[in-house]
Structure formats: C-alpha cells, structure tokens
Amino acid sequence: MPDAVIGAIRTTDLVVRGELVLVAFSGGHDSTALLLALREEGYDIVAAHYDHALQEGSALMAEHVRRLCETLGVPMIVGRRSAPLARGSVQAAARTLRYEFLDGAAAEAGATEIALAHTADDLVEGAAMHLLRGCGLAGLRGMPARRGHFVRPLLSVWRSDVIAYLESRGVVAIEDPANSDLSYARVRMRKRLLPALERDRPGIVRRLHAAALSAAAMQESISAQAGGTRSRDAIASMTPAVAGECMRTLYAEAGGRLPSLSRRQLEAMVRLAAGKRGGTGIDLPGALRFRVVGSRVEVVPRVPPLVEVLLDVRSCTGCSETGAVHLKPGLKVTLGHRRPGLRMRPAGGSGTRKLQDILVDARVPREERDALPLVFAGDRLAWVPGVAVDRDLLSAPGETSLHVTVTRILSDRNPQMAVLKSPDSPRGDPS
C-alpha cells in the first residue's frame, strides 16, 4: 500500500507545518520514505546523516545521501565518527553518538523536531526484544511515538508499505549491511525469530503490534499521573507503575537519556523513596545518582561539579547580610575540609557535638560531606556554612567583629555564584 506512508504523514500530529523538521536520514528504505513523504506533503525539512564509520563503504552511503538530497533540493548536515566507540555494546555506543549528533544538528539548523523513520516492524522488534529480557509496561510499547523532540510518525506503517511507496516513486534506497548482520540481536529477531513465530502463529506480528500500541496508550496515562514530584510522601502514595514513571521523569530532568534505567533500578529507587531499607543512594547510568535527602528525593551528578571556594573576611561593626557570620575579632580564619575528630559547640544547642552528627542531623548528603568547605579559627572548627556556627566564637552584639562569607564558583567560571548561607539569625545564632 504505497499510500500508507503518505496517509501516516497526513494524519500525524507529531510534526507541525510551518516548523523546521530535522529528518534523521541514513539512506535506507525507511528514512528515504520518510524524507520523501515529508517533502511531498510540503513540510520544511533538513536532512541529517551520521556516518558511524563501522562498515566498509560507509562513505559511499554518505555520498549517495548527499546526491539524493541535492537532487531533491533538501539541505543536509553530515557528521562522521572520528573517536573510538565507548566500551561495551557496539550498537548502544553507536546509537549514543548518533543521537548526540542529531541533537547538535537540530540546534545548528534551528529545527524544533527530529523525525525518526522507525516503522511498525521496528516497534514489534523492540517490544519482542524487551519481552525476552523481561520488561514492564514501558518496555512492552517497544518505542514511544515521541520522546522529547524526537518523533516517530511511521510507527503505524509496515516495511512492506515503505517498499511499495518507494517503488511507486521510482526511488532506489541503499540497505545498510549491518541490517543483515546476524551477530546483532535485533537482526536475529527480524530475520529469524519473528518469521518463525509468524509461520507457526499467522498474524502474531500484527497482534504484537496492537499490544504495543495498547501499552503505549496506558504508559501515556501513567506518565500524565506521575509528574516530577520529589516528595517522598507523594511517591509512597503512588501505585508502583506511577511511582516508577515518576523516577524516570526525575532521571530525564537531571539529564539522563531514556531508556537507560532497568526495571530493577526503578524498583530500587521507588523502595528507597518509600523509606524501605536499601541505603541512601543509587548510582544510575550517565554518571548520575539517585538519593534521599530528608523528605525529598533527587537525581544529581554522581561527582559534584568542581567549584572554587572563596573566603572573604573583613572588619564589621554589625550588619544583617544574608550568608555571613560575625566572629570574634583577632581570630585567624582559614578554609579547610572535614577530617577525623572535628567537634564544635553549635549555637542554639547545648554541649559539644561531633561534626559527623551535625551533618547527619542537617541531612547533608553523604557524598557531599568531604567536599563541604569549613571555616576554622586556628585549629578550631568555627563555622559549617549553611549548617552551624560555634557559639563560643561568635562576636557579641554591637562589638566590632570579623564579617566572614564563603562563596563557591563553578569551575567553568559560570558568573552565577552560590553563597553558602549561615544560619537564619543575622549574627549566626539560629535561636
């Protein structure tokens, strides 16, 4: 059915007329059909081709793509891999590089959407592979029609429809040799497992497609309920499916690329958020970490960004500057970090306390404690910015004092500076 491709483009709400659309254009049958159909329907498009440099003759594919775009009058952005792939799965590493290139190409072109040419066959293959690995509802949908600015308008179109469409237009596409390489699990699924299932149970491929679409609709409903709440109480009141989707949202908002989280990771995050045993944090893909901080949860960089810490000390007759403490005059004030045995007499409290206990009570995350800048008066801990100040070292109201502030500046010299706040009272007394 050659009209199936055009029909999908005419009925989709994934791409908007009048907005520039970046088409991920490999030169294969699916992406060629997508490019032609969008152009035929009058969309403003630009093609983006990424050469993974993994197959002999990949440069010839890039040249074929360039000539076709030139013939069609479609602008094109080309990228080619120059660095070694990351260790692990070749396909996963190549996919990461491709998506990074597409993000950059869209920004360069000013495109609002990136159109991917995955078809109904790809949807079924993905769902079946996820089922084999053991998946939840999100995996059963195969792949979403939209994820961020990536859209897939051909998920209702079968590969046979694509071939018929190209034949009706007299256009020849080039098949990527990797699509016939049985060393890849997806190729084995396409060439062997699904055809065997179809022979044994005619129509099962289309039934899998229908199941994936139903799963996608249910997943959209769950996503709408989840939101991005960081409240542990709210997460604990959610159903497991909604809570898991909330975890995905937090991960994505922190810069994590989906789908990267396994079902086991999501379940562990939900357990931790609900207050069950399992520690205070979980390392996640993409150098991120999920952690519990008091009544809230958050996803943060696994290694906190490097900062430059500036200490400012000056004479003061008394002021109410936020983020400053006023210490007794004549003290030799320096910056330092946590070391064993540190204690102080926190203002507003009674007696001497270990720094470890003070940080735990203040809910300072464990991984941030060693990097937390501390202010010393000689060898004595005087101030933990934002947490506590030693009451014996505070100046008396009205007397000339040392006005002390600590400022952290991001290592990339971002002009936005974060002042480490003192306790609430203007003179550092939290009472």
Asked if residue 220 is part of any domain, the answer here is: no
Dihedrals phi, psi of 152, to nearest 5 degrees: -130, 90
User: Is 70 exceeded by the pLDDT of residue 430?
Assistant: no
Amino acid 292: pLDDT: 86
CATH code, domain carrying 97: 3.40.50.620
The stretch 361-370 carries a mean pLDDT of 78
240 and 275 share one domain: yes
Length of the chain: 431
Q: How far apart are CA 117 and CA 127, in angstroms?
A: 17
Same domain membership, residue 233 and residue 129: no
Query: Are residues 257 and 288 both part of a single domain?
Result: yes
Q: How far is CA 291 from CA 228, 300, 306, 313, in A?
A: 15, 8, 19, 35
Amino acid at 125: E
Q: What share of the chain is helix, strand, coil (3-state, %, to 5)?
A: 40, 20, 40
Residue 430 counted as domain residue: no
Report the share of the chain in percent with pLDDT over 90.
Answer: 45
| 219 is a domain residue | no
Cα angle 56, 61, 67; round to 5: 150
Identify the CATH number of the domain in which residue 251 sits: 3.30.465
Q: Residue 36 falls within a domain, yes or no?
A: yes
Give Cα separations from 222 to 119, 161, 211, 246, 330 (angstroms): 24, 32, 16, 9, 61
Please say whether the dihedral angle defined by the alpha carbons of residues 29, 32, 34 and 36, taken in this order, is positive or negative.
negative
Asked if residue 377 and residue 262 are part of one domain, the reply reads: no
The answer to whether residue 215 is domain-embedded is no
> Do 19 and 111 lie in a common domain?
yes
The answer to whether 205 and 124 have CB atoms below 8 angstroms apart is yes
Q: Are residues 411 and 392 in the same domain?
A: yes
pLDDT at residue 418 in the model: 44
- Extract the tokens encoding 111: 């495109």
- Do both 131 and 202 map to the same domain? yes
- Name the domain boundary from 279, 301, 323: 301
Closest-CA residue to 304 (of 369, 383, 256, 359): 369
Q: 289-319 pLDDT, tens per residue? A: 898 887 888 898 876 666 678 889 999 987 8
Q: How confident is the model at residue 71 (pLDDT cuts 50, 70, 90)?
A: very high
pLDDT in tens, 315-348: 998 788 888 899 999 899 998 888 888 999 999 8
312 with 409, same domain? yes
Q: What are phi and psi of 50, to 5 degrees?
A: -115, 125
Dihedral angle over CA of 251, 253, 256, 258, nearest 10: 80
φ, ψ for residue 198, nearest 5 deg: -65, -35
pTM of the predicted structure, to 2 decimals: 0.65
**Which pLDDT band holds residue 428 (cuts at 50, 70, 90)?**
very low
Residue pointed to by tokens 């602008």: 75
CA distance 357 to 162: 65
Q: What H or E segment, with its residue span, contains residue 288?
A: strand 288-293
Asked if 20 and 109 count as a contact pair (C-beta separation under 8 A), the reply is yes
Residue 391 in contact with residue 353, Cβ under 8 Å? Answer: no
| pLDDT surpassing 80 at residue 238 | yes
Instruction: Evaluate whether residue 70 is within a structural domain.
Output: yes
Cβ atoms 248, 258 nearer than 8 A: yes
One domain, residues 341 and 410: yes
How far is it, in rounded angstroms, from Cα 374 to Cα 380? 10
Q: How far is CA 393 from CA 276, 354, 385, 400, 407, in A?
A: 41, 17, 14, 13, 21
For 195, the domain range is 3-210
Same domain as 387, residue 323: yes
Give the residues across from 404 on adjacent strands. Answer: 313, 325
* Whole-number Å distance between alpha carbons of 262 and 265: 5
Residues of the chain with pLDDT > 70, as a percent, come to: 92
Question: Tokens 């079924």 belong to which residue?
Answer: 124
Q: Pick the last residue of a domain from 210, 235, 258.
A: 210
In a domain, 372, yes or no: yes
Same-domain status, 112 and 235: no
Q: Which residues contact 359 (CB under 8 A, 6 or more apart)?
A: 369, 372, 384, 387
Query: What is the number of domains present in the chain?
Result: 3
CA 21 to CA 37: how far, in whole Å?
Answer: 13
Out of 125-129, 261-265, 365-369, least confident range: 365-369
Q: Which of 159, 182, 210 is the last residue of a domain?
A: 210
What is residue 306's predicted lDDT score, i.e. its pLDDT?
64
CB atoms within 10 A of CB 407: 17
- The residue assigned the tokens 């203007």 is 426
> Of 29, 63, 28, 68, whose CA–CA distance to 45 is shortest?
68
